[in-house]
Structure 1
Amino acid sequence: MSEKSPLLHYRLTSSTGTEPRDVSKHSRLKAGRGGRRDKKKTGPKLGVLLGVVMPTLLSMFSVVVFLRIGFVVGQAGLYQSIAMFLVAYFIITMTVLSVCAISTNGALDAGGAYYMISRALGPEFGGSIGIMFFFANVCGSALYILGLVEAILSSFGVPVDGVANLHQVLPSGYWWSLLYGTVLLFLCFIVCLVGAHIYAKATFIIFIIVTTVLASTFISFFIVRPVVVILPDSSGLNGTGLSTANYSGFQLHTLESNLLPNYTIDYTTGTMMSFATVFAVMFNGCTGIMAGSNMSGDLKNPSYSIPRGTLAAVLTTFITYNLLSLLAAWSCDRRLLQRDYSFLGDINIWPPLVTTGVYSSTVSAAMSNLIGASRILYALSKDNLFGGVLSVTRKTSRNGNPWASVLVSWLLVQVVLFAGKLNTIASVVTIFFLLVYAAVNLACLALEWASAPNFRPSFRCFTWHTCTLGILGCLVMMFFINAIYAFASIAFMLLLLMLIHYLGPISNWGYISQALIFHQVRKYLLLLDVRKDHVKFWRPQVLLMVANPRSRIGLMTFINDLKKSGLYVLGHVKLGLLDGLPSDPLQNSYDSWLSLVDHLNIKAFVNLTLADSVRTWSSEPAFYHRLRWNEA
């Protein structure tokens, strides 16, 4: 038997006759001889390192670590920079705990966070959050492409003012930047189009490069002597001459001057910075925690790989970011940090090495978000939540790669590239990711509160407190960054939720709302004490036995008007015995009775029973403790 095959068909299917046996036989055949062939064809191959740790690290080690660490420290100061990292990593740590709990609860299919949320909270909430997560990955991929274009133009672009060096040959400007971004995005698209395994191999090479660059960066802080750095021409704002700043090495007065915030105008966008805008840019270096879970459909063992790989990557990036912030504040002039975002290359023992690291990490992060967006879109199309709108994205190659979803994701990323600047879309990307993280925490919180018997994760380092703190942290930071964007994103999510609720197909995933209602009803039923009954609070509790509902509609509606907020039970007994039957013959009838109750708009429970006689059934104990019909 395979992991995803049903454990029990008896009484769990709506079929009758011998069909459940056929289904069981089909499941055994699928897990038997044919299972090996299917696994060889489309089976996941990636482990913890290649499938989770490397994609997560490279998605987090991207624009921020090489191009924005000086921006954060220069604008916010060391104290507020560390505070930002603590707040950001507190939020994502709470989210990672929820992700680990859900991912270790059972089989995890393609779609990552979308699959977790939709199977926990139902199709409406899961589908709306899935679309938001898809757009978050699309915008994130565009953000990293724009960061890469910025890095390329910083090294090889022709200056707006001044004399160009021999290597500065690329024309600058909005349309030229859009062209460069389009070419780079197309290269990422080709890699993702080939498949996840080629992406994993490329990730391994890039990971070695980025690790080497980070090692050289740390070493450079200790061995490079003080030097005067010529700032980029675009950072001079209204200045006409060459601007310079100092790399002083480890000096106490340099550290003291960089402790407090000093928000100025961002030289790439011309807008005034604040704590919220700087946090929005910085938080993009923490949004890669889902890179591993997005690859869940390509992992050997998602329940084993995702918790270990994600936690290891989060801890590594937190230590690296804080060490880089401390070293930059201790050795670099404030003007250098604010006016030269690529200062790490200027003070490196071999500047081209940092340039290589910037290019490699941003390309990897862009590919990670692009392939993650395609997997989410493919999972949405498979679930058929939007009817035929996403049917075209279900097409896959022979090895199972969803090339149609990759194509659609690539086209949408191309549209976002028209934003032009990295800092322009940073707030939008951050709010999208924060909303998704809040939904993941909400899914885990709902499962924990519902006390669902099927929620037994092997990862136990979480409680409802961590889920609640994660939700509150995400919502607070969303509105702190940009209240308008936060309201708009939530309104868009609610609109999608309503569309799926009224237009989407009925799913058999289960609804967490039903589990929560059952949990609360059971709790209040236990509070009902028969010793506290009083005649003045008596309510009629009626059992109406109905043989043929077609001829008893008038009686059913009359009793409904008579009951006056009491208990009303519609009973029906089908003569026969369950012994020897392959399934419960009343299951299909039960849906029809519930539809009739909804159509007549009566408030009644339905109790259908299979018994050898009505007298035998009536002698059985009534259900629900005190909620039973009155006996004469």
Structure 2
Amino acid sequence: MESNNKQGLGTLEGVYIPTVLTILGVIMFLRLGWIVGNTGIIGTLIIIVLAHIITVATTLSMSSMLTNIEIGDGGAYAIVSRSLGLEIGGAIGIPLYLSQALSVAFYITGFTELWASFFDHPTWLVGLIVWGVLTTLSMISAKLAFKIQYFILIAVILSIISFLTGPSMNSGNPVLIGKFAQSGFWESFAIFFPAVTGILAGASMSGELKNPRKSIINGTLAAVLTGFIIYIVVAIIFSMHATENLLLADSSIILQLGRFKILIIAGIMGAVISSALSTLVSAPRTLAALAQNRTVPFSNFFATKASNNEPRNAIIISSLISLAVLLLSNLNSLAELLTLFFLTTYCMINLVVLVEKATGVMSFRPRFNISTFIPIVGLIGCLLAMILINRLFTFITFFVVISIYYILKRKNLVSPWGDVRGGVFTSMAEWAAQKSMYLPYHPRLWKPSIVVPIEKKEDYKKVPRFIRDLINPAGRVYYLTIKEEQNNTQNVSDDMDSTLAPYKEENLFAQQITIYEGDFNRDLKIVLQSLLNVFLPPNTIFFTISEDAERRKKFKELLDSLKDIRRKLGLLCLYTHSKYGFGQEKNINLWLRDKSTNNNLAVLSAIQIMKNWNGSLTLCRVIDSSSDVKQVEKDLHKFIEDARLPINTKIQVMVGSFSELIQKEQTDLNILGMPEQFGEIEKIIKIIPASVLFVADSGLENALV
């Protein structure tokens, strides 16, 4: 989790202002009027809406991911790499970095066009001077560069007001549908789309933000909404105040339509310089993040930072790339190239959310949850737009991404965060099994995979539904039966088919494992050891606690015999209250002891049951002194945030004796860490007025990842 006390940029200066200034840049001032003249106001509004559907869907997908991970440095690259692995992250991050570096040249080119319309200076010289000034500012300090943008924002606001209140040069009606005389619809879309690629401006500065998760989400969404409204209004004013011929003939027609020309000039120059500056600041940070994970050549060189924490080497190389492109290209050709690069990145951000949702791993618990429809719209929109804009460049773009992926794959990169690829391959057909098993295990891949040993089938008549609530929708359950003889094989099979039928009706993973001519107490350990070495092994063993004292004694002996294997298997022991059962299946009390080794599986189990019960969760802790109540409540609130528990999770801190307090709590299910002594279990179930789930971690679970 990000620390709120961390020194860094806030939402306004670190995300909103640079993002909105990147959006309200070259395209709005120097190309939107031409687009209106070429496509008409209806065509322009369609272009604006389509572009924003893609960017809003991507922004929502990015926001969802940000509430599930600590983003660190690298922005969009970090989002992709922390979910799909360093290889795919690098395959997307490198083109993303290049697109950012090219964007600098794109914005400076727009500035030189404007300058040349006022002064008779060589455009190459103007571009070179601007490039030098921006490079110097980016090397001095990112904070200084972003603070300058406060003044630029004021200039842009004044320029927009001047335009909206300016004179009209159109005595007739606005053109509703253009003649597409100079460019087709999708070519016009490609020229406009860089206007909305600024949504990554804040995300790319993730390493410099005080609270990246909160700032990027709030700042980016606010900036996108601001940009959408302004583009709609400005496009309408263009269509009303200028004729089609004027809009097509003069790309800087906005200067004639403003009430105060000087304000328009200041706004254009400020917006363009701001866009170039924020991009030149963010691009090196993407390169430095790539270098930190050794996904680019000369990683040590690019990852090195100066004493002021600026990635100086990365800034120098990024500036040189932008300079080379600046001297060789023009604005429109750059626009189409940048469109495809950014669309590729947007595709992967949406794909990440789809993959995370599809695998069903427990680590994907975003606080900002979105419908699967949103990333699907974003992904399809990006792909269709790329194909329609330029099929050849789209093919080349994907070829480059795939080539980079295979190059990085050969480097055997190891992600420090884990990723969901194991979950992806696990959910695929058998041909993916070998590849999935070779991927390193990480706690974020954990999801319930429960083995249920059955000695007497009557013991489990009441629990199939409860087990279903533990595994639904993406977990697994194995019913393990050890029979002393080969007789009644058909009866055993029929009984198990009947037990598993409800799971299969819900498309849950449920499997029957039957061992014949064995002894339950003697052979259970051996069978469990064998299951740990198969593909899709169990990670948790589930028992029920009987009311019968003699059977409890045998159960204690069984648990003692399984101590070694419990280092690899979590343990769930359910006591179902004979009178109250699971009550209304709504309220769950999760009793957390400070520094308990069993908290992780307890939390993960509580999350599963709560979701399937559609119930409520209360975190309970018993302490000795009332003076510690406030601090413990504060710690529990932080734990709720770190574990990404539902925002309606309650907290109850009690002072006194645990055995006395738990008797007074009315709930449908209590979840407790497994006591070291079995006698403590018997004491608890004797006094407690509800069902209890005792939990013991294996050490392979982590509720905070």
Q: TM-score, normalised by structure 1?
A: 0.68
Q: Measured at CA, do residues 199 and 517 of structure 1 come closer, stay the same or move farther in structure 2, by a change above 3 Å?
A: same
How far 1:540 sits from its partner (Å)? 13
2:321 — aligned with what?
A: 412
How far 1:519 sits from its partner (Å)? 4.8
Partner-residue secondary structure (3-state), 1:399: coil
- Whether 1:306 aligns to 2:254 is no
1:338 — aligned with what?
A: 248
Q: What are the residue-to-residue correspondences of 1:223-238 with 2, within 5 Å?
A: 224=167, 226=168
2:146 pairs with one of 196, 200, 205: 200
Q: CA RMSD in A?
A: 3.0
1:280 — aligned with what?
A: 190
Q: Tell me the distance in 1 between the aligned counterparts of 2:328 and 2:59.
A: 30
2:383 pairs with one of 475, 485, 489: 475
Q: Tell me the distance in 2 between the aligned counterparts of 1:479 and 1:374.
A: 29
Q: Measured at CA, do residues 578 and 46 of structure 1 come closer, stay the same or move farther in structure 2, by a change above 3 Å?
A: farther
1:186 — aligned with what?
A: 132
Q: Which amino acid aligns with 1:478?
A: M
Structure with the larger strand share: 2
Partner-residue secondary structure (3-state), 2:165: helix
Q: Which amino acid aligns with 2:352?
A: A
Q: What are the residue-to-residue correspondences of 1:376-395 with 2, within 5 Å?
A: 376-386=286-296, 388-395=297-304
Partner-residue secondary structure (3-state), 1:131: helix
For residues 201-256 of structure 1, the C-alpha deviation after alignment (integer angstroms, 9 at most, x for no partner) is 11111111111111111121xxx2x5xxxxxxxxxxxxxxxxxxxx12xx5x331x
How far 1:121 sits from its partner (Å)? 0.7
1:76 — aligned with what?
A: 39
2:117 — aligned with what?
A: 154
Q: Measured at CA, do residues 390 and 578 of structure 1 come closer, stay the same or move farther in structure 2, by a change above 3 Å?
A: farther
Q: Which amino acid aligns with 2:165?
A: I
- Whether 1:487 aligns to 2:406 is no
Q: What are the residue-to-residue correspondences of 1:80-479 with 2, within 5 Å?
A: 80-156=43-119, 169-170=120-121, 176-220=122-166, 224=167, 226=168, 247-248=169-170, 251=171, 253-255=172-174, 258-265=175-182, 273-386=183-296, 388-460=297-369, 462-479=370-387
For residues 94-149 of structure 1, the C-alpha deviation after alignment (integer angstroms, 9 at most, x for no partner) is 00001111112232211110011100111111111000110111111111111111
How far 1:457 sits from its partner (Å)? 1.7
Q: Which amino acid aligns with 2:377?
A: L
Q: What are the residue-to-residue correspondences of 1:573-592 with 2, within 5 Å?
A: none
Q: Measured at CA, do residues 202 and 77 of structure 1 come closer, stay the same or move farther in structure 2, by a change above 3 Å?
A: same
1:598 — aligned with what?
A: none
**Higher RCO, Cα 8 Å, sep 6+:** 1
Q: Tell me the distance in 2 between the aligned counterparts of 1:507 and 1:110.
A: 14
Q: Tell me the distance in 2 between the aligned counterparts of 1:457 and 1:337.
A: 46
Unpaired segments ≥5 residues, structure 1: 5-30, 157-168, 171-175, 227-246, 266-272, 543-565, 570-575, 585-632
Q: Tell me the distance in 2 between the aligned counterparts of 1:406 and 1:150.
A: 25
Identity, % of aligned pairs? 29
1:48 pairs with one of 11, 15, 24: 11
How far 1:524 sits from its partner (Å)? 9.7
Work out whether residues 254 and 332 of structure 1, in 8 Å CA contact, stay in contact via their aligned partners in 2.
Answer: no
Q: Tell me the distance in 1 between the aligned counterparts of 2:154 and 2:262.
A: 16
Q: Which amino acid aligns with 2:262?
A: P
Q: TM-score, normalised by structure 2?
A: 0.61
Partner-residue secondary structure (3-state), 2:173: helix
Q: Tell me the distance in 2 between the aligned counterparts of 1:541 and 1:137.
A: 61
2:411 — aligned with what?
A: 503
Work out whether residues 62 and 358 of structure 1, in 8 Å CA contact, stay in contact via their aligned partners in 2.
Answer: yes
Paired residues, what number? Answer: 458
Q: Tell me the distance in 1 between the aligned counterparts of 2:79 and 2:345.
A: 11
Work out whether residues 91 and 474 of structure 1, in 8 Å CA contact, stay in contact via their aligned partners in 2.
Answer: yes
Work out whether residues 87 and 413 of structure 2, in 8 Å CA contact, stay in contact via their aligned partners in 1.
Answer: no
Unpaired segments ≥5 residues, structure 2: 430-448, 450-473, 480-491, 498-511, 517-533, 538-559, 569-705
Q: Which amino acid aligns with 1:254?
A: N
Partner-residue secondary structure (3-state), 1:285: helix
